[in-house]
Amino acid sequence: MWRYIKRLLIGKPLKTADEGGQSLTKFKALALLSSDALSSVAYGTEQITAVLITLSAAAMMYQIWVAALVLVLLAAITLSYQQIIHAYPSGGGAYVVASTNWGQSAGLVAGGSLLVDYMLTVAVSTTSATEAITSAIPSLYQHRVLISCLIVIGIMLLNLRGMRESASFLTLPVYLFILMILGMVIYGIFQISTGHIQYHAAANIGSPVAGMSLILFFRAFSSGSSSLTGVEAISNAVPNFKTPKSKNASGTLAIMATILAVFFGGITFLSFYMGIAPNEHVTVLSQIGEGVLGHGLLYYLLQLSTAMILAVAANTGFSAFPILAYNLAKDKFLPHAYLDKGDRLGYSNGIISLALGAIVLIQIFNGKTNSLIPLYAVGVFVPFTLSQSGMIIHWMRNRGKAWPMKMVINFIGAFISLALVVFLFLLRFENVWPYLIVMPLVLRLFYKINAHYKKVAKQLRVSDDETELTPVHHFDGSTVIVLVGGVTKVTARAVSYAQSIGDYVIAMHVSFDADPEKEHQISEEFKKEFPDVRFVDIHSSYRSITQPALRFCDVIAKRAADRNYSTTVLVPQFVPHHRWEHILHNQTSLRLRAILNSRQNIIVSTYNYHLRE
């Protein structure tokens, strides 16, 4: 039943060879990877006005100057990430840049910040979508947490179906939102120019405002900079683009930044001119839409498109989090389960982990966007600072064409990003203090996992005396199949044990399309270490080990049964010293034993190798 439900929700498995068909064009990539950044215009201006209104209505005039500074930062970050895309085309974004130029510890701070931030991305996007829905339908306000969680689950299922399907699904809401906001901004400016919208700002630009301070200005700037979250997602996902990957990714980033600048600038101007003030139950964007479009069909279409893009903005996190988790797992700082691709060629474990984390955050913060955004901004601007300052070191080391100018751009972005981080801690400490607790815990987890993997690798490494082990005795005619994942100390001892209980030993390995060089290396290394043992490489097109292994064992067992011989399948596994360490390793042996136990003519045996530490 579970298999049928899974196929219904997720779809049939795709072959590894089909991965090229999952690559993104600029058109689809803009929908898939820019929804977070573009959707932030729905609450970016509101975050600025929410700070300024605490002083007076006249202070709302400063939103124009705050927006101008945000746009300067957007330009610096965009140019900087375009450089990162070309310099590090393998993806990984801030984590790879910081690790390469500042060292592994800085890279882990960037990576850990982004992992938490992508969970916050999903939480903020879905709670903002819910606010847009409840602005139009106030009776749903008390159910906002449930609505947000259901949106997260829906987007998770969409991403489990694969990147191509999620990109196709997102095309409508993203481009509808672009059309509606662009139309609203243009029509609003037209109505202003024709006098149909009156000037309602409490103070003119440049007018002195009593009580206004530099601290309040930068507090508003730090809140408004939340509009820039999501800009880094494209640099993380460069491998997902069609060739030429770097060129297409860079072009998509430029298009996204241009649209974001026009929307953010236009909405902020309309908010100032119309004298819009933040309201707990009605968003600033909703008030602007009602003032420009009226309360008719176009207004509800604007609210619908806003709710849709805020909901699907979470998809940026679902696109970037699994790839970042993959890079950290590849470097042995996260469990190896994040390296595995699911049936639809997506990193399913990363997708599910992100959804669970976002649901927990929504529950903790009771679905309130304003409580999440300051912490959200810290998680973005710490990696921004590390990546852009890392690029300064990159240019000093590697130089290249026009490197002084590129370094100046990176310096501007790094300086403003660092200033924002400082302001957030000084001015919004009551909201961002959890970062100082979460990040040390995340870093400790990274190092704990990494230390475990290093100890395991050291204990499993084959030494010269491992292949010299001699079998004790034989049982004539019996066949033993040893399942081999790689050439390790476990493999060596399991093969030796198989030779002691069987007359004919076969080493069976299942290979995938993902890394043919690695698979060839395993084959050559095994044949070199065990020249007298038959090595069989079974190819799997679907990243599945159990089914190919079962089919091969069935064939061998049938042949042995015809000659009245027994067949034993030996499943080697190492047993970690501590129970909690089991979650750091793929439980392939459990799945293999479970499926092989269904065969009457096969004896299933386990070879346990216990780790010392």
Which pLDDT tens digit goes with each residue over 247-281? 898 999 999 999 999 999 999 999 999 988 888 77
Highest mean pLDDT out of 31-45, 216-230, 284-298? 284-298
Decide: 504 and 518 in contact? Cβ < 8 Å: no
Select from 3.40.720, 3.40.1350, 3.90.1200, 3.40.50 the CATH code of 477-610. 3.40.50
Q: What pTM did the predictor assign?
A: 0.71
pLDDT exceeds 50 at position 474: no
* Alpha carbons 202 and 460: distance in angstroms, whole number: 72
What does the block give as tokens for 332? 């042995």
Q: Which residue has the higher pLDDT, 517 or 587?
A: 517
Strand partners, 510: 538
Residue 558: count other Cβ atoms within 10 Å of its Cβ: 11
CATH topology of domain 25-450: Amino acid/polyamine transporter I (1.20.1740)
Decide: 147 and 133 in contact? Cβ < 8 Å: yes
pLDDT exceeds 50 at position 472: no
Decide: 324 and 238 in contact? Cβ < 8 Å: no
Supply the DSSP symbol for 337: G
pLDDT exceeds 60 at position 12: yes
Strand partners, 603: 568
pLDDT exceeds 90 at position 333: yes
- Phi and psi for 481 in degrees, rounded to 5? -105, 120
Burial track 286-323 (b if 16+ CB lie within 10 A, e otherwise): bbbbbbbbeeeebbebbbbbbbbbbbbbbbbbbbbbbb
Q: Where are the domains of the chain?
A: 25-450, 477-610
Write the burial class of residue 493 (CB in 10 Å: 0-12 exposed, 13-18 middle, 19+ buried): middle
How would residue 319 be classed by pLDDT, with cut points 50, 70 and 90?
Answer: confident
Beta-carbon contacts of 82 under 8 Å, excluding residues fewer than 6 positions away, are 250, 253, 254
Rg of the Cα atoms in the chain: 28
3-state secondary structure string across 397-442: HHCCCCHHHHHHHHHHHHHHHHHHHHHHHHHCHHHHCHHHHHHHHH
pLDDT exceeds 80 at position 471: no
Number of H helices, E strands in the chain: 24, 5
Beta-carbon contacts of 394 under 8 Å, excluding residues fewer than 6 positions away, are 87, 97, 100, 101
pLDDT exceeds 70 at position 16: no
Decide: 568 and 478 in contact? Cβ < 8 Å: yes
* Alpha carbons 466 and 479: distance in angstroms, whole number: 22
Which pLDDT tens digit goes with each residue over 494-545? 888 888 888 889 999 888 766 777 778 888 888 888 888 899 888 877 667 8
Among the residues of 34-143, which ranges form H helices?
35-39, 41-52, 63-87, 93-102, 104-136
Mean pLDDT, residues 339-357: 80
pLDDT exceeds 60 at position 469: no
- Least confident interval from 5-14, 166-175, 431-440, 577-586: 5-14
Mean pLDDT, residues 29-33: 81
Decide: 127 and 370 in contact? Cβ < 8 Å: no
Mean pLDDT, residues 209-215: 86
* Alpha carbons 306 and 309: distance in angstroms, whole number: 5
